[in-house]
Chain A
Amino acid sequence: MSHVIDVHDLNFSFGSGALTQPVLKNVTISIQKGEIVLMTGPSGSGKTTFLTIIGGLRQAYHGSVRVLEQELINSSEQVKVSIRQQIGYIFQQHNLLKSLTAQQNVSMALEMQNSMTEQQRLDHAAEMLRAVGLGARLNYKPDQLSAGQCQRVSIARALVGQPKIVLADEPTASLDKQSGHEAVTILERLAKESKTTILLVTHDYRILDMADRIVELEDGVIKEK
């Protein structure tokens, strides 16, 4: 049972009746602990949909999706919320809270952990920001940071809670080559250190070298490479 993500015959479609648009067809994939998997594929192939189902953001009804030993097909809201809390999510945009500083943004990910004091949260956040190279910018707000720096803050936010899985949806899409590469390198390094599983959706062929495994999703069907 070392598979942290175990998907069998997942089917998913948008719409209903005659307008039903199948997006994922019999998707089957298993990802092991500590593995870095890159998922590529043309746009509209269902990559993001797949990611939102794994992340407990979207409800699927057919097949089997086991994430961290929890079945997500026809799951309750509580199960999904608990899965979301154990997963780090990195978005295409950095999606930081504009009104909060980098440190506050990162510590938002720890607010749900009641065992910590506020000071511990802030310390952890600061430590994580130093790890992504932003130790000098703890009190900067997102509009005072560059896009690359913002994405690094959001990587820190995704990793600070020491999640077992990190899901990333085209994290380099809105970045230039240099900062995109930096961000992904940091993500790879930190994930390796803590043996975190990464499932990363990308179009970006420049970052394929970080992967342990590359899969391609095309028209809702998975192909291993």
Chain B
Amino acid sequence: MNLVAWIYFPARLAWRQLIFDRTKLIAATCGVLFACVLVFMQQGFRDALYASAASAPVKLNGDLFLMHKQSEAMWRPVRFKRSELMRALGHPAVAEVYPLYLGLAPFKNIETRSKRTLMVYGFDPDSLIFGIEEIKNKRTALRLKDTVLFDEYSRPEFGPMRQLLEAGRNVTEVNDYKITVIGFFRLGVSFAADGNIVTSDLNFMRIFPDRTRNDIDLGVIKLYAGASIKQVQTELISQLNEFVNIFTYDELLQNEKNYWANMAPIGFIFGFGTVMGLVVGLVIVYQILFTDITNHRHEFATLKAMGYEHGYFIRVVFASAFFLAILGFIPGYLFSLGLYHLAESQIFMPMPMTFTKAVTVFLFILSMCMTAGFLAIHKLKAANPADMF
């Protein structure tokens, strides 16, 4: 028997049986669609989490990064002495080093006067360690006392800052300290902070009076052009104290992602959500296939009496599972696409629908349906012509 007929005929029968009962087909498709959307959303949120967790380091402009070994992630750093960063300057390949100060502080909404915590980045405006044009352009203005730039991608709870600024209302409080918002930049929110502002290192000390310039949260190291980052990293590790980590740019990103994926329960929650979505889908598809076999067992028994082999019916069941996967995935994909756009516009989380993600979710759904098919085929034994007639 040739291969095309081997799979084509049972697949054709499966298809004809599926489209015969439209109501049941729609119900079945909805079940798969449901699982599909659930998995897409969990995956989307998870990736958004990782992407936003790394949004700050993504915009950092440096070759190597110094972090205290006890720091789990950038948003909850352990401080270390600035002198440790300065020691890196002793390496001949190191061109410049700059400290970055980080702090969470309440920001007062100018309109409602309610306070909400955001992330404050303090750095030397001339250092250009943020690769963001708006920050570079405002570096002279940021030198002035008590000036900050506000992240336009911050959550709306901080107030409609652009309109307020255009109306001339640009004075508010951060950590109960009066500051002036002089412009905007775009970075993006993360699970750690709902918003961001950047300011000069000097202003940072004014906002956080208990901080000193000698205790830094992150050190940014720039190397001379042509220096081998890996080699300098190895050499610096042997020269600096043990309590600092020296990350390359990629390692810093990975460190941030790992924190959210493994250290924080959030990564687990989304993984769990994905699994639950698949389990629910599995049960639904299994139920559908199982009832389908039960309903068709007379027909299957008849075909068996006509000389069809058992394998034919197994292929019918798997073909049904395959069609359900496809039929559920297509609307599920489109629906999720809409939800992704909604999420991006409403909660300001980056949720791109990538090709890889679509393929991954499809493979999830496909294996879910195939597993359901595998579990359902035992019911085929009920289609025994000798017991039926």
Is B302 within 8 A of A95, CB to CB? yes
Is A52 within 8 A of B386, CB to CB? yes
Looking at the assembled complex, report how far the CB atom of A185 sits from the nearest CB atom of chain B, in whole angstroms: 23
| B92 in contact (CB, < 8 A) | no
Is B386 within 8 A of A84, CB to CB? no
Stretch from B46-54, B224-232, B304-312, B350-358 that touches the partner: B304-312
From B1, B16, B305, give the contact of A57 (CB < 8 A): B305
Known: A99-B16, A114-B2. Contact between A108 and B303, CB under 8 A?
A: yes
Instruction: List A residues 34-67 near B (Cβ within 8 Å).
Output: 48, 52, 55, 57-58
Is A95 within 8 A of B9, CB to CB? no
Give the complex CA separation of A93 and B302 in angstroms: 10
Closest to B10 in A: A111
Instruction: List A residues 117-169 near B (Cβ within 8 Å).
Output: 157, 169
Contacts of A114 in B (CB 8 A): 1-2, 5
Instruction: List A residues 160-183 near B (Cβ within 8 Å).
Output: 169
Is B305 within 8 A of A55, CB to CB? yes
Looking at the assembled complex, report how far the CB atom of A23 sits from the nearest CB atom of chain B, in whole angstroms: 12
Is A112 within 8 A of B302, CB to CB? no
Looking at the assembled complex, report how far the CB atom of A192 sits from the nearest CB atom of chain B, in whole angstroms: 23
Known: A95-B299, A100-B16, A114-B5. Contact between A109 and B306, CB under 8 A?
A: yes
Contacts of B303 in A (CB 8 A): 97, 108
Is B307 within 8 A of A82, CB to CB? yes
Interface size for B (C-beta < 8 A) is: 23
| A85 in contact (CB, < 8 A) | yes
Contacts of B307 in A (CB 8 A): 81-82, 84-86, 112
Count of CB-CB pairs between chains A and B under 8 Å: 56
Is A98 within 8 A of B306, CB to CB? no
Give the complex CA separation of A89 and B302 in angstroms: 9
Looking at the assembled complex, report how far the CB atom of B112 sits from the nearest CB atom of chain A, in whole angstroms: 62
| B17 in contact (CB, < 8 A) | yes
Is B9 within 8 A of A111, CB to CB? yes
Is B299 within 8 A of A92, CB to CB? no
Closest to A104 in B: B16
- CB-defined interface of B345-389 with A at 8 Å, one 1/0 digit per residue? 000000000000000000000000000000000000000011001
Chain A interface (Cβ < 8 Å from any Cβ of B): 48, 52, 55, 57-58, 81-82, 84-86, 89, 91-93, 95, 97-100, 104, 108-109, 111-112, 114, 157, 169
Beyond the given pairs A92-B389, A114-B1, 14 more chain A to chain B contacts, judged by CB atoms under 8 angstroms and listed by A's residue number, are A48-B389, A52-B385, A57-B386, A81-B309, A84-B305, A85-B306, A86-B307, A89-B306, A93-B298, A97-B299, A97-B303, A98-B299, A99-B20, A111-B9
Could you pull out 21 A-B pairs where Cβ atoms are within 8 angstroms? A48-B389, A52-B389, A57-B304, A57-B305, A57-B386, A81-B307, A84-B304, A84-B307, A86-B307, A91-B302, A95-B298, A97-B17, A97-B299, A98-B20, A99-B17, A99-B21, A104-B16, A108-B306, A109-B306, A114-B2, A157-B306
Chain B interface (Cβ < 8 Å from any Cβ of A): 1-2, 5, 9, 13, 16-17, 19-21, 298-299, 302-309, 385-386, 389
Going nearest first, the 6 A-B pairs with the smallest beta carbon separation are A85-B307, A99-B20, A84-B307, A58-B386, A95-B302, A57-B385
